[in-house]
Amino acid sequence: MRSSGLLACLAILVGATGALAQGPRLEPAPGALPAPTIGGPPDATVPPSVPDQPTTPDLIMDLSLARVSITSAFQGESILLFGMFDPPGEIVVVVAGPPARETVMRKQRFLGIWLNTGRQAFDDVPAYYAIAASQPLQRLLARGAGGEILSLEDRLSSLKPATPRDAAELARFRAGLVEVKRREGLYPAAIGQVTVQAGRLFRVDLPFPSRLPEGVYDIRVYLLREGKIVAAVSRPLPVGKVGFSAQLAGWSAHEGALYGVGAILMALLVGWLGGAVMRRL
């Protein structure tokens, strides 16, 4: 009997000590929001678009110009692309112009006269295509990057011919297309160099030639680690005419007859003025 009474007293003392250590228990006021709990479910009052923890992107980029404006004195443009990435990794930049149908004509000399002896149309041809990388591109592609990152040869090999033709003939017409585009500066032969500074900052100058077609260009930046794409960002670059050259282009496209009459009158006026000047001399 005495031992059971001692055990009951000890139990009462232990319970009282625990209650004193925890302190008084406060009940929430009616209508008050429950206090957040660590490790519990997310607060239903916070919108789902607000992240629980701040996140840092692995790759960000920007351009020194938001668009390329083609004027009557346009001689080409160079745009600075810069950004930051989470190391380690390598950077690859791909610039592709708007796709369109292109027709390649083959000329041959016949009896001292150059004649068009064949033509081939291709669909989905990029108006401009350039690549820049922080390391040699072939080394990066050999490590298994491939896939979304395509060299110029791989990109052109996927072109769809408008009319079926022998594979050897198609290869020759593709080679002719590349030759014409490179003469116009639209398919740079050299791979641009992406400069990496402080291990995480990168920059590259993107040159655009004077014969730049209009449209929306797609600029993509890839972050590679161990030959695999781990992050990618893209940015559209509008290219269009502005000023008087844009008005002339609009007239020729929407008011063809009026534009033709105006061009004829202008040519006659310039010819008459030139003749008058020559007679006075």
Give pLDDT tens digits for 135-164: 988 777 765 555 688 888 888 888 888 888
Identify the CA nearest to 100 among candidates 185, 147, 159, 179: 159
User: In this structure, how many other beta carbons lie within 10 angstroms of the beta carbon of residue 155?
Assistant: 17
**pLDDT for position 1:** 44
Which residues of the chain, if any, have pLDDT below 70?
1-56, 142-147, 243-256, 259
Summarised one tens digit per residue, pLDDT across range 107-140 is 777 777 877 778 899 999 999 999 999 998 877 7
**pLDDT for position 255:** 64
**pLDDT for position 52:** 54
Asked if 191 contacts 133 with a C-beta cutoff of 8 angstroms, the reply is yes
Q: Which are the contacts of 251, defined by CB distance < 8 A and separation ≥ 6?
A: 258, 259, 262
Using DSSP's 3-state secondary structure scheme, residue 140 falls into helix
Query: Which class for 67: exposed (0-12), middle (13-18), buried (19 or more C-beta within 10 A)?
Result: middle
Distance of CA 57 to the CA centre of its chain: 17
CATH code linked to domain 60-245: 2.60.40.10
**pLDDT for position 17:** 46
DSSP state of 61: E
Asked if 92 contacts 131 with a C-beta cutoff of 8 angstroms, the reply is yes
Alpha helices for 114-255 (secondary structure H) = 137-142, 152-157, 167-183, 244-254
Q: Model pTM greater than 0.85?
A: no
31: left (phi over 0), alpha (psi -120 to 50) or beta: left
**pLDDT for position 110:** 75
Asked if 85 contacts 91 with a C-beta cutoff of 8 angstroms, the reply is yes
**pLDDT for position 45:** 57
DSSP state of 148: T
Asked if 152 contacts 187 with a C-beta cutoff of 8 angstroms, the reply is yes
Distance of CA 148 to the CA centre of its chain: 12
Q: Say if strands 129-133 and 192-193 run parallel, antiparallel, or are unpaired.
A: parallel
